[in-house]
Amino acid sequence: GELPFPRSLVLLGATGSIGTSALAVIEAHPDKFRILGLAGARNVQRLAQQAARHRPPYLAVLDDAHAAALIPLLPAGYAPELLIGPAGYAAMAALPQAQVVLSAMVGAAGLESTLAAVQAGKVVALANKESLVLAGDLIRAAARTSGAVILPVDSEHNALFQAMAGHNGHALRRLILTASGGPFREKDRAFLEAVTPAQALRHPNWSMGAKISIDSATLMNKGLEVIEACHLYGLPVEMVDVLVHPQSIVHSLAEFEDGSQLAHLGPPDMRIAIAYCLAHPERLALDIPSLSLASLGSLTFASPDVEKFPCLQLAIHAAATMADCGPQGGNGACVVLNAANEVAVDAFLAGRCTFLEIARLVEDAVQSWRQSGPFGALDLQTTLTLDADARALALRRLDLLPAGLPT
């Protein structure tokens, strides 16, 4: 049945870009929500500010040192229960009183708490796309068993969810994920050779966390979203297309067998998708100005340039491998793609590799998986081990740069 209001919420990744936008939605509708738990990793200052405003009975941080740093920042007379580390995050996600869990940590670190929320049968507002990339089959199987409902926060997948509501999934011909093309859409390869982290962090339309901003610049973000869409909608990768749309107004389209394409349009503001998930099936009023198509004048579309942005193609190939039930198939390719990408993005941000080396590190990781596996559908432990091994391999390759990798 439908959840009544006020709803009891857990926010994982509360201190990040999505977490902060979620709190803005919640604070605009204080009668609709109660915050049961807030989880952050290292930004104890921001977590303390959020906690002081909402006084949730549970808080979570990465480790004991951050818990010790948090406690003196909390207001006098407020003594929440402190949960620590991955086990603490998972416990918060599964709290019996929690009704809706926002999964908005960044990277593979979000997998175990997302899975815990799904296993506990929660409504999961899912922003952490990496958890689906790593273990989409395990998450979907857990949701079938527990009855958990997964609502996509990622704007493209949220757009598709809205476009498909009330339609028969069998009549679907394909999904079309729109992509802004990132800050380097019109740049040539010579420019990409010398890109700095500051340039790559400056997204034209969206304000986001560092990791997803770099992923948007390499188009890996769109590749991860193709894999995410396959899992969310149970589709083969051949049914998921990518369309470059620099204005980020059309957030994606669903095409049906009769030739209709249904799109979702709106200003590029994540509060729309977040509010849709937190209040579903209700819609909340938001302080977002009307989209004026007349002042925009035109919307443009183009095919993605996979030569210039190889990460997109690498992810699409990994998605195809995932569906391959032969001896060389399975989700291992997606696991290592994601792991190597996280290492490479961190290294790029730290000035330890170039922008173009991100794709090379990822390709190298997938190549080495093709030689050694593990193949087939991986269980959680094998997935986590493969993730750790792929990170270690990518870190060793990084030590060999700049001379080591072939170009």
What are the angstrom distances between the C-alpha of 187 and each of 199, 246, 298? 12, 14, 22
Q: Is 127 in the site for ligand NAD (CB under 6 A)?
A: yes
| Touching ligand NAD, residues 258-297 (CB under 6 A) | 270
Task: Indicate which of ligand NAD, Mg ion, none lies near residue 128 (CB less than 5 to 8 Å, by partner kind).
Answer: ligand NAD
Q: Are 89 and 13 in contact (CB under 8 A)?
A: no
- Cα(106)–Cα(127) distance, rounded to whole angstroms? 9
Residue 330, phi then psi, degrees to nearest 5: 110, 175
Q: Write each residue from 53 to 72 as x if it is in contact with ligand NAD (CB under 6 A), else as -, in one continuous string.
A: ---------x----------
Q: Could you say whether residue 16 binds ligand NAD (CB under 6 A)?
A: yes
Give the N- to C-terminal CA distance of the chain in Å, as an integer.
55
Question: For residue 257, which amino acid is it?
Answer: E
Which of residues 156 and 269 has its CB atom nearest to Mg ion in the complex? Answer: 156
Out of 104, 123, 132, 235, the only residue in the binding site for ligand NAD (CB under 6 A) is 104
- Of these partners, Mg ion, ligand NAD, none, which one is at the site of residue 19 (CB under 5 to 8 Å by kind)? ligand NAD
**Minimum CB distance to ligand NAD, residue 105 (Å):** 4
Partner interacting with residue 321 (select from Mg ion, ligand NAD, none; CB below 5-8 Å by kind): none
Of the two residues 88 and 246, which places its CB atom closer to Mg ion in the complex?
246
The single residue among 136, 152, 209, 332 that binds ligand NAD, judged by CB under 6 A, is: 209
337 touching ligand NAD, by CB under 6 A: no
Tell me how many residues contact ligand NAD (CB under 6 A): 28
Nearer to ligand NAD, 132 or 254 (CB): 132
| Choices 163-171, 179-187, 209-217, 256-264; region in contact with ligand NAD by CB under 6 A | 209-217
Residue 114 interacting with ligand NAD (CB under 6 A) = no
Q: Which 29-48 residues touch ligand NAD, going by CB under 6 A? A: 40-43
For position 50 contacting ligand NAD by CB under 6 A, the verdict is no
Give the span between the Cα atoms of 326 and 371, in whole angstroms.
Answer: 14
Among 112, 154, 255, 389, binds Mg ion (CB under 5 A): 154
Question: From the list 91, 106, 272, 362, which residue makes contact with ligand NAD (rule: CB under 6 A)?
Answer: 106
Residue number, nearest CB to ligand NAD: 16
User: What residue ranges bind ligand NAD (CB under 6 A)?
Assistant: 13-19, 40-43, 62, 104-106, 109, 127-130, 154, 206, 208-212, 270
